[in-house]
Structure 1
Amino acid sequence: MSVRGRFELDYDQLPIIFEAQFGNQNVYIGLNYNESGQFFTADLYDSDFQPVVMGERLVYGKRLWRRLVDPEVPKIDLVPLDEANKETAITKDNFGKTVFLYQDTLILSDEEEANG
């Protein structure tokens, strides 16, 4: 079981766009693969599907949009990673198999929540 909020997506169907809600902020996120550069990118759209950030490169273990201070960018940590810590990079072979896009907020079990 994942200890972080994992986006359950069909990574084999890139490019994809999905809706996400963070608190009271709805956004759309697009994931793409750059075949010539062999890397993944993410696009961020607001709730009206207007572009906010386009072509942000996904870096293993690094928060998306980490260099931006913009009220349109969700204040949430979205990170591509492997919770088993076996991978060190995001590749076409491992994205959606061992590396996933996570909301980097730990999810506590019912017992952990009860114990505070």
Structure 2
Amino acid sequence: MASRDYIPFDKEDIPQQFEFDLADDTFILRINYNQTDDSFSLDLYDQDMEPIVLGEKLILNVPLWEDIVNEKLPAPSLIPMDESNTETRVTYVNFMQTVFLYIDDVSDDAEGEDDGDE
């Protein structure tokens, strides 16, 4: 099975902001933590620090910005996921332990591949 890349964060340093190259574009990501409801959100800026989307909540297995139409959004998608399927939501305890912000750059064909033992 093909593996996805993820975006590493040090949750001890949140709020954290950094440049990130995705596809052929450079973006600035800022990750925030809301202690009140134990959740994370992401702000997305273009390389000139113009906001594209602010305050997008990380919801387990839901692609970020899936309900937003904006040509400035990056492709491929970013998805908070737990590949072991043990978690039910993104929390401070599980983020960057079992839940990671994955880059959905694995093709559907690659996901379905096996190791040849049929």
Same fold (TM over 0.5): yes
User: Which consecutive unaligned segments of at least 5 residues does structure 2 have?
Assistant: none
Q: Percent identity?
A: 36
Partner residue, 2:96: 96
Q: CA deviation at 1:32?
A: 0.5
Q: CA deviation at 1:25?
A: 1.1
> 2: distance between equivalents of 1:8 and 1:42?
13
Partner residue, 2:51: 51
Computed over aligned residues only, the root mean square deviation of the Cα atoms, in angstroms, reads 1.8
Q: CA deviation at 1:78?
A: 0.2
| TM-score normalised by length of structure 1 | 0.84
Q: Is contact 2:46–2:52 with CA below 8 Å preserved after alignment?
A: yes
| TM-score normalised by length of structure 2 | 0.83
Number of residue pairs matched by the alignment: 108
Q: Is contact 1:76–1:103 with CA below 8 Å preserved after alignment?
A: yes
> 2: distance between equivalents of 1:57 and 1:41?
4
Q: Residues 66-91 of structure 1: CA distance to partner in whole angstroms, max 9, x if unpaired?
A: 11111111122101111122212111
4+ runs deviating over 4 angstroms: none
